[in-house]
């Protein structure tokens, strides 16, 4: 049987934007079914996601981050490593690990951009909830 609890891992970097994904997730999955874990940034998500998935307690692990150019490195490097790591975590454990990790080409620390991405993260959180619920139903049907 597929567990009905979910782990939600979120990066603290740009938390004012990233946390909106959890708001969107809660629109479809009750908060009492979700364990929330904070990590410093996107790069730390795959390892914790794998560890959480390996516990067998969760029907899915959702990982949310906002990866933008930091001036020191190109965000594409981090984004690719994160997405590859999340996919590997799911494949290695057999538990869905879903990414709500966005990597915009253009982001500026303006209120206009923050509003746009906050709204987008709410939608992506809802989409992650739909995906987690759908995968759970499909896996339960396969097991029956």
* 105 labelled ligand-binding: no
99 marked as part of a ligand binding site: yes
d(CA 85, CA 87): 5
Question: Is 43 marked as binding a ligand?
Answer: yes
113 assigned binding-site residue:
yes
Exactly one of 74, 88, 126, 139 is catalytic; name it: 74
SS3 at position 6: strand
Confirm if 12 and 115 have CB atoms less than 8 A apart: no
**75 marked ligand binding residue:** no
20 part of the active site? no
Annotated ligand binding at 9? The verdict is no
Three-class SS state of 28? coil
> What is the Cα–Cα distance from 52 to 40, expressed in whole angstroms?
16
Distance CA 100, CA 34 (A): 16
Which residues are part of a known binding site for (2S)-2-hydroxy-3-oxobutyl phosphate?
113
Which residues are part of a known binding site for 5-amino-6-(D-ribitylamino)uracil?
13, 42-44, 66-68, 99
Catalytic residues: 74
Which residues are part of a known binding site?
13, 42-44, 66-68, 99, 113
């Amino acid at each position: 049987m597929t567990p009905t609890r979910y782990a939600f891992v979120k990066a603290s970097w740009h938390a004012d934007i990233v946390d909106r994904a959890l708001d969107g997730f809660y629109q479809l999955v009750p908060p009492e079914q979700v364990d929330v874990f904070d990590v410093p940034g996107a790069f730390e998500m795959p390892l914790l996601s794998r560890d959480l998935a390996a516990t067998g307690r969760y029907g899915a692990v959702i990982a949310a981050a906002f990866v933008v150019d930091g001036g020191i490195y190109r965000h594409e490097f981090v984004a690719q490593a994160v997405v590859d790591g999340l996919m590997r975590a799911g494949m290695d454990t057999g538990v869905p690990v879903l990414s709500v990790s966005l990597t915009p080409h253009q982001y500026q620390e303006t209120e206009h951009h923050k509003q746009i991405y906050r709204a987008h993260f709410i939608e992506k959180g809802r989409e992650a909830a739909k995906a987690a619920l759908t995968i759970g139903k499909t896996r339960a049907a396969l097991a029956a």
